């Protein structure tokens, strides 16, 4: 009797294991498909976000190519660069998640120590102008490279004037 019970139990267990699961009806299949594919609204929102992000990066790159230039051994911002600083300030005011580093640079003439100090003074002058235009000082970092980051290298005024500058490096606080 025990053998028959064991055989019947085994057959019953095998039959249950091979029974296919019931197929979902058409309504269930449609609901599953909707859940697994993004809606047009989701896709549009993702696309708009990608466009906005790309536009923002392009704006930041454009701002970073504009520098403020200085006369030899000077750290006074010349009036001709007021608009460049104003554009930087407007961008920072309109984009609260952005911060900027103002990077002071010098030409190769003078000692390394003097050039680092002069680069720092130039960065401070630009930071002061940004602050006056309404940018919080906590969003502006200063850095000095002195003569270490030349744009052009030649022992002529045409190269030296390109190296006496403050550059802007923007970074989003994501």
Tokens of 134: 């309404």
Neighbouring residues of 74: CB distance < 8 A, sequence distance ≥ 6: none
What gap in Å lies between CA 46 and CA 109, rounded to an integer? 51
Per-residue pLDDT tens, the chain, 174 aa: give them: 555 555 545 555 555 555 555 555 655 665 555 555 566 666 766 777 778 778 888 888 888 889 999 999 999 999 999 999 999 999 999 999 999 999 999 999 999 999 999 999 999 999 999 999 999 999 999 999 999 999 999 999 999 999 999 999 999 875
Which residue range forms the structural domain that includes residue 92? 67-174
Within a domain: 48:
no
Within a domain: 174:
yes
Within a domain: 156:
yes
Q: How many domains is the chain built from?
A: 1
CATH number, domain containing residue 77: 3.30.1330.60
């Amino acid at each position: 009797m025990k053998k028959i019970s064991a055989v019947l139990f085994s057959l019953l267990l095998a039959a249950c294991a091979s029974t296919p699961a019931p197929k979902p009806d058409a309504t269930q299949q449609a609901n599953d498909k909707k859940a697994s594919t993004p809606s047009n609204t989701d896709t549009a929102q993702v696309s708009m976000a990608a466009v906005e992000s790309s536009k923002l990066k392009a704006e930041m790159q454009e701002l970073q190519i504009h520098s403020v230039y200085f006369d030899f051994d000077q750290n006074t911002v010349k009036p001709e660069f007021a608009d460049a600083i104003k554009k930087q300030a407007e961008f920072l005011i309109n984009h609260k998640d952005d911060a900027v580093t103002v990077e002071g640079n010098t030409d190769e003439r003078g000692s390394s120590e003097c050039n680092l100090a002069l680069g720092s003074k130039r960065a401070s002058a630009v930071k002061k102008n940004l602050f006056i235009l309404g940018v919080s000082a906590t969003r502006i970092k200063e850095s000095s490279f002195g003569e270490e980051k030349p744009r052009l290298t030649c022992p002529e005024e045409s190269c030296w004037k390109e190296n006496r500058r403050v550059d802007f490096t923007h970074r989003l606080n994501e």
